[in-house]
Amino acid sequence: MKVVAVGGGHGTAVSLRALKLISDDVTGVVSVADDGGSTGRLRAMLNVAAVGDIRKCLVALADPDNPLTASFEHRFKVGELSGHAVGNLLLVGLLDATGNLEESVAALAQLMGVKGTILPASSEGVVLLAATEEGPTRGQTKVATSSTIRRVSLEPASPAAPIVAVETIERADVVLIGPGSLFTSVLAACVVPGITQALAGTRAKKLYVANLHAENPETEGFRLDDHVDALRRHGVNVDLVLVDERSSYAEDSCTVETRVRDLSDPRGLVHDVQKLAGAVLGEVPR
C-alpha cells in the first residue's frame, strides 16, 4: 500500500509516524515556506529554502537508534549558533554546497536510515502570501497572525514541484492531509501547482485529519466545514474527514463524510500515533 502525507511541521511528522505503522511505502511531501525561528534566520542569511519542516519529517521516519537521528533536533544554546537545530544546519549546508534541495534531503535520509521518502513540496524556496480582510500579507510568520485569511498563494507564483512528488501522489492508495496549521502548513504545501494538480488527479483516498482545536488567530472561529471549504477554495477536495472525539469539532456538521474517532492522547492535547494509524487503516479499501 502506497501512502503519502502532505503538509508541514509537527502535524505531518505525526502523520508520517502513523503511516509507517501501516505501510512500508511511505512518502512525506513537505512545505518549504517556513520563515520563522532558526529556519527563518538561515533563509535570511543564505537565501535558501526553508528546511525546518523537512527536518521534523526526516526524524519521523528515521532510525531512532541512529546517532545522527538522535542529534538532529538538538539546538545550540550559546553564541551565534544559539537556537539553531543541528538538522537545519546540516540541511542548509548541503543545500548551499550542492544547490539541489531534493538531493540534499535524500543524502541525509540515507545517513539517518530513513524508512520511506521525504520530498519538498517545491524544488525551490517559496514565500507564503495571503489575501486577508486587512490586505495582502507576506511571509508565513506574518500570515499566521491574521484571523481573516481568505486565500493563500506562493511567491514565485508557479514554483515547480519535484516530479517524483507529483508521481507519488498520483500513484498513491491513501493521501493524508493534515493535521497542522491550515493555511501556513497544510495549504502552504498543497498550493504548489503541481501538488494541487496531483491531488486532483490521484485515485487515492484523500483523508483530512482535523486539528484538535482552533489555532488562534489563524483559524479562530472556524467550524469543521470552514476547514473543508478552505481546502476546496484552494483546489483540494477530500473524501473523508477524521475528527477526534474530544476535539472542539466533534459535534460540527460537515459537507464531507466524517468519522469521529478516539485519535488523541488521554488529555486530548496531541494526536496519538497508534490511534491515528488505526483510524486510517480502518478507512482503507480491502
Angle at 98 between CA 93 and CA 103, to 5 degrees: 95
As for how many domains the chain has, the answer is 1
Which CATH number do you get for residue 17?
Answer: 3.40.50.10680
pLDDT of residue 195: 98
pLDDT tens figures, 86-104: 999 999 999 989 999 999 9
Closest CA to 179 of 211, 218, 203: 211
Closest CA to 209 of 2, 17, 53: 17
pLDDT tens figures, 194-213: 999 999 999 999 999 999 99
Residues counted in the chain: 286
pLDDT tens figures, 17-48: 999 999 999 999 999 999 878 877 878 777 78
pLDDT tens figures, 108-145: 999 999 999 999 999 998 999 999 998 999 999 999 99
Q: In angstroms, how far is the first alpha carbon of the chain from the final one?
A: 11
Q: How far from the centroid of its chain's Cα atoms is residue 203's Cα? A: 21
C-alpha grid cell for residue 187? 495549504
C-alpha grid cell for residue 189? 504545501
Range of 139's domain?
A: 2-282
